[in-house]
Structure 1
Amino acid sequence: MLLGPDGKVRGDHDLVFYNHPAQDGVSVEGTEVTADLSRLPAGEHRVVMVVSADPLQPGAVITRAPQLTISQSAASSALFIAPDFTSGETVVVLAELYRRGHGWKARAVGPGYASGLAGLRLTTASMWTPSPPPRRSPRRPARLQDRPPRST
């Protein structure tokens, strides 16, 4: 999702997914999301990465979020491992890239919602305001670790 300074999407075109795989420098191919931050319009202030269970699979839930690696260059990357999900989550907000001054920062997020995309309260031109996460038992904290890049 591409969000402006007010936390809003400009329209449906700001949602990048398998049926709309590219917009303003952000693209998705399979499980890989690429953000060419130099191509984002000045009005875009955040890129939020969300994972959703397949809505065409009744009862599908996320038990383990995909591993997220954020790479700035071949020599620099960070690994985010979200905790396991045990409360019937169907959507997980993994991470966001956001403008800070003249540059960009990355933040691991990690909450999951059992109410699907509606739990994000995300509609065209509405504010991206996550619902409170469901109550759950304590679990291991999320980790964001520096990691050397994988050699190929």
Structure 2
Amino acid sequence: MTPGSNVPLPATRVTVDVAAPVRLDVSGLLLAADGKVRSDDDFIFYNQPAGPGVTYRSGGGSAPDSITVDTGAVPPEIEKIVVTASPDAAGQTFQGIEPTATIRDADGGAVVASFTPPGLGAETALVVVEIYRRNGQWKARAVGQGYANGLAGIATDFGVTVEEPAQPVSAPPVPRTPPAPQAPPAPTPGAGKINLDKGRVSLQKNQTVSLVKGG
């Protein structure tokens, strides 16, 4: 496939594998007619691997990560699923590590199409392909749109609530006489932040998405 080209999907369930010379983080976003997610629940990735009609599978570093779309189970108000990729290493660009998306029949394994976005450089995240509905038929389109501000740029473009990293602040002056220790305030239920640390947390409703990875 070339950028902008499309192919009809011959199967109800398709899998998009995204491979590159380095490990990638692959995700899928379910978009309504306005081009936005309905809520953060429509952001499918390694900490939230399943949504309505869309699932994520990790390749574990030895195989490509993938997004599987069951078009028969996608809600009627969803018009497209975009498949994105970003290098797992923080700050790495796609210069010299162009990814290839391979679209397959999820049940039989037959290859439907493949696409390698050309001319990548400073991009740190990429919308690779999209699976979309047009006049009752599902198709796949090659996109290759890059973002220089990482997965956060893609997520916010499509309406995901992203928690900005905290900015460092100066330490307060040390008082001459230390005050008596006070008990810490009780935590507020449901106010905890989440992040994308792999295998540690799960995306929950009504929480913002943090794109800051822990050590």
State which structure, 1 or 2, has the greater radius of gyration over its C-alpha atoms: 2
Q: Return the alpha-carbon distance in structure 2 between the equivalents of residues 113 and 75 of structure 1.
A: 31
Give the Å deviation of 1:23.
Answer: 0.4
Offset from partner CA, 1:56-89 (integer Å, 9 cap, x none): x443222323211112454451111122522x21
What does residue 18 of structure 1 align with? 46
Partner residue, 2:115: 80
Q: Look up the match of 1:94.
A: 128
What whole-Å deviation, never above 9, does each CA across 1:69-117 have from its counterpart, x for those lacking one?
112454451111122522x211111000111111111100002111223
Alpha-carbon spacing, 1:78–1:12, altered in 2? closer, same or farther (3 Å): same
Q: Secondary structure at the match of 1:117?
A: helix
Separation (CA, whole Å) in 2 of partners of 1:106 and 1:10: 21
- Identify which of 37, 41, 49 aligns with 1:9: 37
Distance 1:41 1:11 in 2: 14
Pick closer, same or farther for the CA change 1:99–1:114 going to 2, 3 Å. Answer: same
Question: Share of identical aligned residues, percent?
Answer: 42
Q: Secondary structure at the match of 2:67?
A: strand
Equivalent position of 1:142 in the other structure: none
158, 164, 176: which one aligns with 1:122: 158
State the alpha-carbon separation in 2 of the partners of residues 60 and 113 from structure 1.
Answer: 12
Q: Look up the SS of the partner of 1:60 in the other structure.
A: coil
Is contact 2:35–2:158 with CA below 8 Å preserved after alignment? Answer: no
> What amino acid does structure 2 have at the position aligned with 1:83?
P
CA distance in 1, matches of 2:114, 2:68: 15
Pick from 78, 99, 121 the counterpart of residue 66 of structure 1.
Answer: 99
Contact 1:65 1:92 in 2 (8 A): no
After superposition, the CA RMSD in angstroms is: 1.9
Letter in structure 1 aligned against 2:159: T
Runs of 4+ in 1 over 4 A off after TM superposition: 73-76
CA distance in 1, matches of 2:101, 2:34: 26
TM-score normalised by the chain length of structure 2: 0.52
